[in-house]
C-alpha cells in the first residue's frame, strides 16, 4: 500500500482481541443460535445435503495474530459448496497478473438468483460477477486452462492454507450432485454458445461440482480464508497483492450472499461468502477470518442460523467495515 494514512492499527486491535473474552462469546453464540427445531430448507437438487442433522452448528475464528477460537461443531466437516468460489477466484487472480479474467466476467451485483440465465442472455454471455454460478464456471474454465484438474489444485491450496490434511473431495457426493446439475449444464452450454468457455461444458461443470464437494470444518475454512484478512499474506507467503485481497473482499461484500448481499451488508456489515452446504466465511479485514456453519437455509439460500449468528456477533464485537 504505502498509503500516507492508515485506517487501522492491527497491533492495537489484535491486542484487544487477545485480551478479549472471545472464547466465551463464541460459546454464547452457539447456545443462542443452534437450531432447536427443523426450520429453513435444504437444496432440492443435492440429496446428500438433506441428510445432515438440522441441529448442527459450529463457529470458528482465526485471528491475524495466529489465535484460533472455536465452539460447537467447529470440527465437523461439511460441504463447502459455493464458498469454494472465493478460493478459485483467488487462485485465478494469482496466476493472472494481466487481469485477463476480467474481460470474461464482471464485478457487479446481479440482482437476480444465483443460477439465473436471464441476465446472462441480456448481457451476452458475460456473467455479472465471479460468485454467481455462471461466473464461477468461467473462473473454473480459466483455471482449467493451466491445470485440467482444477478441483485437485483447489484442494491442495485449501489443505496448505488450512494447515490441515483434513480437507477432501467427497467424490461420491460430487457424482450424485452432478446428476442434479442440469441448471449448471444449461449455464455452461449457454456460456459456450457465447464463446465464453474454452473447455467443454460437461468437463467444466464436472470440475466445478467437485470443487463444491470439498469437505472442510469451520476451523479449517477460517484458517484457509485468513489471507484475505491479512492483505493477501497466506500461511506460507504472499498469495495475492494487498489490492487484489481487498478487491476480493469488495466482491464478497457486494456479491457474496446470492441475492441477499445487500441485506447481509446491512445486518452484518462484513464481506462474506455463503454456500448451500450451510457454511459462511466472513472476513474482518486486519483482524480475523470467521467461519460459521449450520445446514438449514433461508429463502435466499444462506444459512439461517449462521446469518443470525453473524449479525449477533457483529453487534456484540463491533466488527463491521462501516
Which residues ranging from 276 to 295 are in contact with a second copy (CB under 8 A)? 284-287
Q: Taking contact as CB under 8 A, which single stretch among the options 30-38, 239-247, 273-281, 302-310 is the one that binds a second copy?
A: 239-247
- Can you tell me the distance from the alpha carbon of 70 to that of 289, in angstroms, rounded to the nearest whole number? 12
> Site for a second copy (CB under 8 A): which residue of 5, 36, 66, 98?
5
> Site for a second copy (CB under 8 A): which residue of 76, 169, 185, 215?
185
Is residue 319 at the binding interface for a second copy, with CB under 8 A as the rule?
yes
Of 68, 35, 187, nearest to 126 by C-alpha is 187
Give the three-state DSSP class for 318. Answer: coil
> Site for a second copy (CB under 8 A): which residue of 160, 169, 186, 215?
186
Please, which of residues 191-220 interact with a second copy by CB under 8 A? 192-193, 201
43 secondary structure, DSSP code: -
- Can you tell me the distance from the alpha carbon of 134 to that of 114, in angstroms, rounded to the nearest whole number? 8
Which CB atom, from 20 or from 164, has the smaller least distance to a second copy? 20
Is residue 128 at the binding interface for a second copy, with CB under 8 A as the rule?
yes
Of 179, 177, 159, 157, nearest to 167 by C-alpha is 159
Contact code string over 10-29 relative to a second copy, x by CB under 8 A = --xx--xx--xxx--x----
Supply the minimum distance, in Å, between the C-beta of residue 135 and a second copy.
11
**Per-residue CA distances from 22 to 67, 81, 160, 178, 279 (Å):** 11, 28, 26, 40, 20
217 contact partners, CB below 8 Å, separation of at least 6 = 58, 60, 74, 75, 76, 77, 78, 166
148 secondary structure, DSSP code: S
> Site for a second copy (CB under 8 A): which residue of 89, 101, 106, 297?
106
Of 315, 265, 299, nearest to 114 by C-alpha is 299
Q: Where are the beta strands (DSSP E) in the chain?
A: 58-63, 68-72, 78-79, 168-169, 214-216, 233-234, 237-238, 272-274, 279-284, 288-293
* Torsions phi, psi for 207 (to 5 deg): -65, -45
Number of residues that bind a second copy (CB under 8 A): 76
Supply the minimum distance, in Å, between the C-beta of residue 91 and a second copy.
18
- Can you tell me the distance from the alpha carbon of 307 to that of 124, in angstroms, rounded to the nearest whole number? 34
Is residue 175 at the binding interface for a second copy, with CB under 8 A as the rule?
no
Supply the residues annotated as catalytic.
82, 85, 208, 258, 276
> Site for a second copy (CB under 8 A): which residue of 249, 275, 295, 306?
249
> Site for a second copy (CB under 8 A): which residue of 23, 111, 146, 148?
111
Please, which of residues 45-84 interact with a second copy by CB under 8 A? 45
> Site for a second copy (CB under 8 A): which residue of 222, 255, 280, 308?
255
Which CB atom, from 78 or from 264, has the smaller least distance to a second copy? 264
Is residue 121 at the binding interface for a second copy, with CB under 8 A as the rule?
yes
Q: Taking contact as CB under 8 A, which single stretch among the options 117-125, 144-152, 219-227, 233-241 is the one that binds a second copy?
A: 117-125
Instruction: Name the region of 259 (left: φ>0; alpha: ψ -120 to 50; beta: rest).
Output: alpha
Is residue 129 at the binding interface for a second copy, with CB under 8 A as the rule?
yes
Give the three-state DSSP class for 62. Answer: strand
Is residue 145 at the binding interface for a second copy, with CB under 8 A as the rule?
no
Amino acid at each position: 500500500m504505502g498509503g500516507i494514512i492508515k485506517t487501522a492499527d492491527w497491533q492495537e486491535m489484535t491486542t484487544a482481541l487477545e485480551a478479549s473474552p472471545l472464547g466465551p462469546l463464541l460459546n454464547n453464540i452457539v447456545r443462542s443460535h443452534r437450531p432447536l427445531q427443523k426450520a429453513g430448507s435444504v437444496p432440492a437438487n443435492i440429496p446428500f445435503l438433506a441428510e445432515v442433522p438440522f441441529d448442527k452448528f459450529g463457529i470458528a475464528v482465526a485471528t491475524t495474530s495466529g489465535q484460533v477460537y472455536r465452539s460447537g461443531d467447529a470440527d465437523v466437516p461439511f460441504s463447502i459448496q459455493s464458498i469454494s468460489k472465493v478460493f478459485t477466484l483467488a487462485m485465478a487472480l494469482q496466476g493472472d497478473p494481466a487481469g485477463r479474467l476480467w474481460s470474461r466476467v464482471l464485478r457487479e451485483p446481479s440482482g437476480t438468483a444465483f443460477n439465473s440465465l436471464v441476465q446472462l442472455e441480456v448481457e451476452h454471455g458475460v456473467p455479472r460477477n465471479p460468485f454467481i454460478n455462471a461466473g464461477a464456471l468461467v473462473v473454473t474454465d480459466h483455471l482449467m486452462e493451466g491445470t485440467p484438474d482444477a478441483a485437485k489444485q483447489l484442494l491442495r491450496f485449501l489443505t496448505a492454507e488450512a494447515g490441515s490434511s483434513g480437507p477432501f473431495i467427497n467424490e461420491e457426493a460430487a457424482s450424485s450432485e452432478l446428476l442434479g446439475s442440469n441448471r449448471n449444464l444449461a449455464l455452461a452450454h449457454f456460456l459456450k454458445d457465447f464463446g465464453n468457455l474454452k473447455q467443454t461444458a460437461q468437463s467444466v461443470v464436472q470440475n466445478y461440482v467437485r470443487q463444491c464437494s470439498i469437505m472442510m470444518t469451520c476451523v479449517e475454512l477460517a484458517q484457509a480464508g485468513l489471507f484475505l484478512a491479512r492483505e493477501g499474506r497466506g500461511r506460507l507467503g504472499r498469495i495475492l497483492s494487498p489490492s487484489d485481497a481487498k478487491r476480493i473482499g469488495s466482491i464478497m461484500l457486494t456479491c457474496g450472499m446470492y441475492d441477499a448481499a445487500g441485506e447481509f451488508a446491512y445486518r452484518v456489515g462484513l464481506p462474506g461468502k455463503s454456500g448451500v452446504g450451510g457454511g459462511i466465511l466472513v472476513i474482518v479485514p486486519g483482524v480475523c477470518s470467521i467461519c460459521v456453519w449450520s445446514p438449514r437455509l433461508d429463502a435466499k439460500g444462506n444459512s439461517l442460523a449462521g446469518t443470525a449468528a453473524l449479525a449477533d456477533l457483529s453487534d456484540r464485537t463491533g466488527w463491521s467495515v462501516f
